[in-house]
Amino acid sequence: MKLGIIGTGLIGGSIALKLKDKNFTHFAYGIDQNEENLNKALELNIIDEKADFRTGIQNSDLIIIAIPVDSARKILSSVLDLINEKQVVMDVGSTKSGIVEAIKNHPNRKRFVAFHPMWGTENSGPDAATSDSFAGKAAVICNRDESDADALELVERVIDTLEMHPIYMNAEAHDVHTAYISHISHITSYALANTVLEKEREEDTIFQLASSGFSSTVRLAKSHPEMWVPIFRQNRDNVLDVLNEHISQLRKFKSALEKENFEYLEELIVNANKIRGILNQ
């Protein structure tokens, strides 16, 4: 099987490495506007050949779109224009409603499977790609009834090869849930980093005093804006909804401290501790 990877960075590169390691594919084309990423991906054996848009798509059995969600939404129709009834296209975007809506009437819609691997890091580029990134993580497939059975089966084989477990939901539900568990985490991290940078002007002090707790909380603030601004744009309404609730929760902590109501502060923390039991399941 020949693989076409549109976007040879962290996610696309990691998928390609795993599928090649497991002999799921014997050849991978790299399609990317970033020539530096293509050269690095070739050097790291993530891809076997650089290809232009048309050549890479038409010669691949499976095409994986692994670029920022705004760009993926723009090019998906053009990708579907170039494929035949045996080829399969999947994306890896963190938002789904916009992309499935954009191609809902395309004649090759059923050859597309909307996919989101629930994994990522604050790093980017082919250098950050690792073959075992996805093991044990959730793999979301959206609107599966809108895809051909054989296309869905191929993507399910990809998920199995990546050692992930599949979850099925509609695109709207996916975008709501990812706003709650992923997108708000990034906004919180960005905001905390900006807070510290604003209040603590001495960079050496941040470096010397930063604890593991602080480092883990602001880790996501290292994530690149070219990926996350499009996500926030695509999922704006859901992110605003959860952000309003987050601000409300912060106000409760602020009020408890202002009023020296430490019993209420303890209640807020005890309630928050419930998340431990959920995450430890």
The full set of domain ranges for the chain reads: 2-169, 174-279
Tell me the average pLDDT across 123-131.
Answer: 84
For the cut 70, the answer to whether the pLDDT of residue 201 exceeds it is: no
Look at the domain 174-279 and name its fold.
6-phosphogluconate dehydrogenase C-terminal fold (1.10.3660)
- At the top level of CATH, the class of 2-169 is alpha beta
For residues 182 and 118, give the distance between their C-alpha atoms in angstroms, rounded to a whole number: 9
For residues 224 and 229, give the distance between their C-alpha atoms in angstroms, rounded to a whole number: 9
The tokens describing 279, both together, are 């995450």
Residue 142's SS3 state is strand
Question: What backbone phi and psi angles, to 5 degrees, belong to 29?
Answer: -90, 140
- pTM score of the predicted model: 0.86
For the cut 90, the answer to whether the pLDDT of residue 53 exceeds it is: yes
Q: Which of 148-157, 160-169, 270-279 has the lowest mean pLDDT?
A: 270-279
Instruction: State the DSSP code for 223.
Output: S
Most distant CA atoms of the chain, gap in Å: 67
